[in-house]
Every structure is written in structure tokens, then in C-alpha cells.
Chain A
């Protein structure tokens, strides 16, 4: 790999090599570390990744600053927790995980720049990162070009599949179809009104929802409106809601706009205990900003809620609170981010190697039974099999799960008939 990178890199490599060599005599003096000696570095790392006999470097690439920081902080925390737990349990192939964290600064080009830095400069064996679709789209060509490995936690629009990415959140059909079936059956919904932020994820999600509503459920979409990211004036659309009186308001408004939307909805006298509202973009993190009182009664569909009752989740929530404070809330994406390091560890151990090609190939059918959301499994298309849940928002900012899909839902990023 070094040969193909040209002269520039040699000096850095030489420096690293020299530094490494300087450490060799010290290793002989060291007592055996707590980490069991894993297989020799030369055999588990044939592509020049940052793997030593005791350490392996992994990157974390999220926005610690800027508008997205509020959402992405949870992911950073979850990834750090997972890595700390893996290290406590002996690391990966006998190697402790070392973290290099970079700030994407809510700026998509910065994500591309930092992704390149993590891969080319730091030779990270894997990167946990990205959040918005835009940041993933910006970083994806970098991961493909330099053959890196990205664990991407957010639920997203689908229409993508890459050897170099493991998608630990749900793609749109997993999240949407089951919940629409539920609302049609439980609430007898006949008419829907879509409200979304104006970018690729809500548009694609609504497209899928519309096809399902019209072609499968044989019911009707009575309105579809989009607003720029960060928009805070929803009065006009709320008036339309009052006129059309849809059975279900289906929303994928993201970020700060949510706060204005639900407050104005409440102020306009739309009572969510009577009017069914189904959202695919509100997690516990968002409710923190919206305020539990303003959104109580709305239904959210996700694969994970903090209130899930199972032993895995209780352990996870306790550990998370211990590390990051009792007040922190855990949303869907935070949990998905927590899965990344574990899925990577298991794939590395199955492959017996840190090499990206081997890890990517070994990822298919990896099972993670200790996942807080319950059992998950990686599909050969690099998305996760997972359950979908519908939950009702409570005034205290938590959710009460009211429905859970019977089986794991197969991820289908290129859904036939929904494009």
C-alpha cells in the first residue's frame, strides 16, 4: 500500500516505523499485559492499517460542533461507551481499541476531509460516523476510494448499498411499512397528510409511504408539504390540516423545526390524543427539545426506544447513565451507534483479520444477541435485520411501546414497487 501512495507518504511512514522500532526494546521489558496475546500483527493486518501488537485504531467522525451537534453527541457517547466496554472485555483480537475523534462540524465537506484524514493519515481500521444523509453522501466516495469501513448509525432513505458501509440504522421501508399497516389497522386510517423537511430523506420516505398507502392499503394521501431545514413557521400547513381533517398526520420534520412544529400544533388546538399523528423523525433526543407536554400522544415509529423492557436494554441504559450522567436520554440513533463497534468486533473476529475486504465479507450474517434493541443480524446487503416498534409519546419525554413487529424485518434498500 505504501508503495502505491507516492513519495509524500514515505516520510510519515518512516517516522512511524522508526517510532515503532524505538519501542521494540521496551516491549521485551514489559510484563505481559492484561490483554491476551492475539495473533501476530503481520497476519491480521496485511493492508497497512494502524494495528500494532497491543492496539488498533478506530475513528469516530461526528459533529461535535454546529447545528447537528445536539443530535450527534448521543452517537459519540454511545460509540465511546461501546468501545470502552469492548476494551474492558479484552479488546479485539487481543488488541485494545484506540479512538481518534474528528469533528465533522455539521458541514458536509468537512466530513469528507476528515474521513480522508482518518483513512489516509491515521489508517483507521474502521470509522464510526456520519449522521445526516448529506454527510454520508459526502464521505461515501472517500470510503470507497480508500477502501475504508464506515459504520453508519442513522435511519435513512435507503437507495444505497456499499461494500464499505455497514448501515446500523433502519432503511426507510423497514421503518415505515409496518407502522403504516399498524395505523391502518388500529386506527382505521383512510386519509393521510404528509409534512416533511425538504431534503432527500423525507422526500424518499414519503414516496415510499405514498406508494404503500395508495397501492397496498388502497387509501388516500390528501396533502404533502415540505419546508426548508430549520423552518419555524408552520401556521399555513396547520390551517390546511384543519381544512382537510386527515385521519393521520404523517411527519418527517427534522431537527430544530420539530420544536416549532409541535408547539404551533398544540397552540392551534390540535389535540394529539384525538388526532393521530405518526412521526418517523422524533426520538427521545428530539423530545428533549420539543418538551414532553407538547408532543404527548403522538406516535413515533423506530426500532428502539429507551423504555424497551428487556435485560440487554436495562444493562445498556444503566451503563450509559453511569458513563454520561443520569439525565442523558437515549434515542434510536444512539442505540444504533452503540451497535457499530460490537458488529465490527465480531466481524473482525469472524474474519480473523482487520483487513477491510475480509471484515466486509465476513459481516454478512453476523448476529448480535446482546443488542439493546434485541437480536440483530447483518444482512448480506450490509443493513440490519431488525424489528420495528410504534410507541406513544408520554408527557415525561419517554415513549410507551404500543406495537412491535412480530418478526425481524428484512432490510430492502432498493424496494421494488416503491421507487
Chain B
């Protein structure tokens, strides 16, 4: 555990240490300047997709890294966010003239295939964009609140909580697949076209969405940082390390845990909604156990105690996934598996651990000596 380093700053409590400001500036520069300049429209859209996963990883850093609550069901919230957004987009794409060939025009195509002749009541509010945006935040938060309250008040924690979240992910997948008339089943909700009349499938729209996504991500990082340095953040860490002491000191442990879990859920849902917008569809394959665990891996590779590490980890793993699979369509899974084993064996604290052990000490010395060198040294840290 390298927690002493990450938490020892609480006494002199600036919003972020100089090093963290540099990390933020670096991340922002890569997201907003370097990648858009280097990559063509297709690759940039891919990176945009990867970045939506990093919302989940960010939430996991708070909930798992700081709070010690390992959730193996973050896909549930990513999926909820994504599905709620997809419902709005699908309704817009299913206008009466777009669906003339159906037996019941004006309802989503998969409902028509499943002999549903009327829009179900819970779909109806999703004709409104403000309602949808509100729902993307509120529904997952509420859902997480219910799960969190139920579990944490009964002092269910650790492995048991992880297993229960995993079960919830499995249940939700089965529900979505089984109720295909209402959810699109295993196919998911596909063929999404416009957002309030704005075609989201063009390269220009992808570009704009990429920057919106990046902006939201930075906002979430800042908010997470705010939580981390607040009293709440310190209590979370204390709870992770000695839950009983915190409880005996009179803090309502369950409420703090529930809050961290809800926050992680909201981050994941924002990521899910942005995913749907950029990729143009949503399917149960993002909700289940496997994607949920994959999302934990992103946070682990990046370093589960580092907000920035989570984003880098997500980018690295997904980049590796895409590159390996393009180069070796039949063998790529082995390469990816090798990468995970390597990280866990050699660098248990992930990318952020490497950075803190090898790069930061030197950097700090230099910054203290007031040399302008960090800009040169940093890109290595990013690799």
C-alpha cells in the first residue's frame, strides 16, 4: 500500500499538490491537444469510447481505492446510463416516417418485432431530453443507494459485497436479455441516429462529442479530487484501513460507504451515456459480469489509488486490446492476458505506482530546484 503518500498531505491542505496539477495539465493536454492532432477521425472516436470507460475507473478509484469497497458490478451503472440515453435516442430515431414499414409505426423496431403495439409507460418520459439527462444521473444513483443501504447497513462488505454486485450484474443482464420486447434483448438498442435533430453519426459530431466527453471527464476528476481531499475522503480512507475504529468514533460508516458507491455509480452512468452517444448503440454486453470485471482491471492497471492513473490505465488497456486484436486476430487475447499478469506481478500499484516510485521523486527534486525540466520528463511517465 502506498497510501501514506497519497494521504499524507491532509495537514497542509491545498486543493491539489503541484505534482497533481502537472498530472492534470498533462492529461488535459493529451486529451485535448495531442490526440486530436495525431489521430484521424476514426481513431479519435475510438479514444473517445475508451475515455467513457475511464469514468467507471474513476468511480472505482473512489469506491475501491479510497473506500475499500470492491464493486464487481459497475457495468450495471454504466449500462443503466447507456440504456437511459439509448432510450431517448431510439425514440427519436423511431419517428413515424422512419418506421413506416412496421405493423405499428412510431415505436422502436424491436418492439414491433416482439408484437408490442404500444409504447410501454416507462419509455414514454424519454421523449424529453432534460428528463433523460436527469434520469441518467438520478436512476443509477438511486439504484446504488438502494443496494448500498441494504448492504452496508447490514455490514455486508469485502468479498461478500463484491459477489453480490456481481450477482446484480448477472441479474440485470438476464432481465435485459429476457425482456427483449422492452429492451431490445441481446441485440441491444441499435441504430441510434440523432440527438434533438443533430446527427450524431458524422465525423464532426464525433469530434464535438469527444471534446464534451473530455470536458466531463476532467470535471469528474476535479470533483473526485474535491471529495478525496475533503473530510469525507479522509474518512473513506480511514474506513478502508480500520473500519471499526471509525465506527466506534461515532461516524455512520454505512452512510459514507453508500455515498462513495453512489458517486461511483453516477460517474459510471455518465460514462455510459457518453458511450451511447459516441458509439451509437447500447447492448447487454456492457452490463454483465465480464465487462464489469474488465472495468476493475482498468482501475487496477492504472493504479487504484490514483485518479489520473485510472484514466491512463483505461487508455492503455483499451489501446492494447485494439492493437493486439488488429495485428493478431487469432492470438490477441493471450497478449492481453500477458499484460495483466505482468502488471499484477511486477507493478501491483499499476501505472501510478510506477510513476510514484520512479518518476515522481526525481521530478519533485527538480521542481524544488525550480528547473523547467518536467515538461520533458513527463511524457515518459505517461507511457
Give A contacts to B, CB under 8 Å.
Answer: 5-6, 8-9, 11-12, 64-65, 101-103, 105, 107-110, 112-114, 116-117, 120-121, 133-134, 137-138, 140-141, 145, 157, 159, 198-200, 203-204, 207, 228-229, 414, 419
Contact = CB atoms under 8 A, between A and B. Distances in A.
Contact of A8 (B41, B103, B186, B330): B41
Interface string B168-183: 0000001001101000
A207 B115 contact: yes
Given A12-B40, A105-B325, A141 B186 contact: no
A137 to B, nearest CB: 5
Contacts, number: 111
Nearest to B174: A228
B243 interface: no
A23 B297 CA distance: 45
Contacts of A145: 201
A281 to B, nearest CB: 15
Given A64-B329, A121-B40, 8 more contacts: A12-B40, A108-B188, A109-B285, A116-B42, A117-B326, A137-B187, A199-B187, A204-B113
Interface residues of B, number: 43
Contacts of B220: none
A410 B40 CA distance: 44
Contact of B204 (A6, A120, A134, A137): A6
A293 to B, nearest CB: 31
Contacts of B49: 113
Contacts of B326: 102, 117
Interface in B30-70: 39-46, 49
Ranked 5 nearest A-B pairs via Cβ:
A8-B40, A103-B329, A120-B42, A134-B187, A199-B186
A5 B103 contact: no
Given A9-B41, A199-B186, A200-B113, A108 B283 contact: yes
Interface in B176-214: 177-178, 180, 185-188, 190-192, 201, 203-204, 207
Interface string B310-338: 00000000000010011001101100000
A48 B329 CA distance: 26
25 contacts: A5-B41, A8-B42, A8-B203, A11-B40, A12-B40, A103-B329, A107-B285, A109-B283, A112-B279, A112-B280, A113-B49, A134-B186, A134-B187, A137-B187, A138-B188, A138-B283, A141-B190, A141-B192, A141-B201, A145-B201, A198-B178, A199-B180, A200-B110, A228-B174, A228-B178
A276 B330 CA distance: 40
**Which of B42, B180, B279 gathers the greatest number of chain A CB atoms within 10 Å?**
B42
Contacts of B114: 203
B145 interface: no
B286 interface: yes
B345 interface: no
Nearest to A63: B329
A2 to B, nearest CB: 11
B281 A141 contact: yes
A160 to B, nearest CB: 9
A229 B281 contact: no
A179 B113 CA distance: 23
B112 to A, nearest CB: 8
Given A5-B203, A204-B113, A65 B333 contact: yes
B279 A108 contact: no
A204 B185 CA distance: 13
Nearest to A158: B113
Contacts of A117: 42, 326
A228 B179 CA distance: 11
A109 B281 contact: yes
A141 B185 contact: no
Interface in B273-318: 279-281, 283, 285-286
Given A101-B329, A121-B42, A138 B190 contact: yes
Contacts of B178: 198, 228
B204 to A, nearest CB: 7
A250 B46 CA distance: 43
Contacts of A105: 325
Contacts of B115: 207
B180 A102 contact: no
Contacts of A137: 187-188, 190-191
B134 interface: no
A109 B180 contact: no
Contacts of B177: 198-199, 228-229
B186 A229 contact: yes
Contacts of B40: 5, 8-9, 11-12, 121
Contacts of B281: 109, 112, 138, 141
B78 to A, nearest CB: 12
Given A103-B325, A103-B330, A199-B180, A6 B41 contact: yes
Given A120-B42, A228-B177, A414-B101, A159 B113 contact: yes
B185 A200 contact: yes
Interface in B142-185: 174, 177-178, 180, 185
Contacts of B180: 198-200, 203
A96 to B, nearest CB: 21
A89 B100 CA distance: 45
A8 B37 CA distance: 8
Contacts of B190: 137-138, 140-141
A105 B45 CA distance: 20
Interface in B107-140: 110, 113-115
